[in-house]
Amino acid sequence: MENGTWWTAPTESESGKLILVTGRKNVEKFRSNPRFNIRVEVSWKYEGDAKGMPDKETSTLMEEVQEALQKEFHKDPVAVLTGIFTGDSQRDWIFYTLSTHIFGRKLNEALESFPLLPLTIYTENDPSWEEYDEMSEAEIKLD
C-alpha cells in the first residue's frame, strides 16, 4: 500500500474483540465520480487466535491476496479499495465500484492463481459513501 494514503486504528467488534481498521485517504477522484456508487465487501472468515487475529500463514496469504487485488484494480481502475477490517476471526476488504459484473470478473482474474479461498461477497448501493464516512470516524487524528 502506498505510504501516506492509509491510516490504521483499533476498534472493537460487538463481541468485544479487537478489530484493526485500515482506511484509505485520498479517495476524492473516485468519490466524486457518481458511477462509483456500489459498495462491495469481500469477506474471509478464518480460525482466529484467542484475540481473533489470523495466524502467520493465513495472514501471509491474505496479504498476497490483497496485493493481487490492488494490482488488478490499479491496472484497471473499475474499483477502489477503501478499507480493510481485520479481527474477530474475519477480514473484510471494502471496495467501491462502478459495476458488480466487471468487479466480479476482475476479482476472479486477480485470484486465479490462488487456491479456492473461503470468500463471501456482499454488495449494496451506497452513492453517498455513507459507510466510508462511518469507517473514517475511526481514524485517529494526531497533531
Over residues 20-33, the pLDDT tens digits come to 999 999 999 999 99
CA gap 1, 5 in Å, rounded: 8
Model pTM above 0.85 = yes
Closest CA to 24 of 70, 57, 63: 70
Quote the cell numbers at residue 138: 475511526
Per-residue pLDDT averaged across 55-68, rounded?
A: 96
* pLDDT (mean) for 61-68: 97
Q: Is the predicted pLDDT of residue 10 greater than 50, yes or no? A: yes
Domain segments of the chain: what residues?
A: 6-136
What's 6-136's CATH class? Answer: alpha beta
**Average pLDDT estimate for 70-99:** 95
Given pLDDT bands bounded at 50, 70 and 90, which one contains residue 143? very low
By the 10 Å C-beta count (0-12 exposed, 13-18 middle, 19+ buried), 42 is classed as: buried
